[in-house]
Amino acid sequence: MTLFVEGLRNTLAGPFTFTVAAGQCLAITGASGSGKTVLLRMIADLDSHEGRVTFGGVDRASLRAPEWRRLASLVPARSGWWAETVREHFPPNLEAARRSLATALLIPETLFGRSIEEASTGERQRLALVRALIAEPRLLLLDEPTASLDPVSTQAVEMAIAQRLAAGITVVWVTHDAAQAERMGDVALHMNSGGVLAA
């Protein structure tokens, strides 16, 4: 399913106009504060904005928020956690998928029985990715998903996303790592100061 973004803007960044085809990854680099996260949040319909977003031929404005969330999933740089234990953040009916993803992302099973407060920053980043992927979104918006990870864990995340790209999902990936953008992006763009994308 193809993502079309047209004239997307708010007072902090934009306007943005681009297309990301099904099975492709748009990698976006840029300095902190340049507007990368704002762009993801506008696509996710979390920040006020002007402009148009369509996905798979469906105008986002025609969908209720829960319907859009089933199609599109934002994995922020710092995800929210509301329950005491790690396991409580995952639906019991998706246990098999959760276990498979945890293994692929090198998350020890013992972590799920512990308090979320005991999870490291890097573990929380990978847990947030598991939480997003088990819902099987068709559009994945990633905000620095490997920023706190070691090279081995980073590779595991990249492999997991590459498998889903091969299965046809669409990805917008924000990263500070130019080498990662080169590895993962079918198209790589740079966010200049003032929230302007450039090739």
pLDDT for position 34: 85
What number of residues does the chain have?
199
- CA trace torsion 112, 115, 120, 124 (10° rounding): 60
pLDDT in tens, the chain (199 residues): 899 999 999 998 989 999 999 999 999 999 888 889 999 999 999 998 999 999 999 999 999 988 998 899 999 988 889 999 999 999 999 999 999 999 999 999 999 999 999 999 999 999 999 999 999 999 999 999 999 999 999 999 999 999 999 999 999 999 999 999 999 999 999 998 777 888 7
Position 3: which residue type?
L
pLDDT for position 194: 73
CA distance 191 to 173: 12
Per-residue tokens: 80: 């929210």
pLDDT for position 125: 94
CA distance 103 to 151: 17
CA distance 100 to 10: 39
Region of residue 154 (phi > 0: left; psi between -120 and 50: alpha; otherwise: beta): alpha
**Residue 56 C-beta-side C-alpha neighbours within 13 Å:** 13
Give the residue carrying structure tokens 């509301």: 82
CB contact at 8 A, 169 and 103 = no
Q: 3-80+138-198 architecture in CATH?
A: 3-Layer(aba) Sandwich (3.40)
Domain boundaries defined on the chain: 3-80+138-198
CB contact at 8 A, 16 and 3 = no
Q: Residue 163 belongs to what H/E stretch?
A: helix 151-166
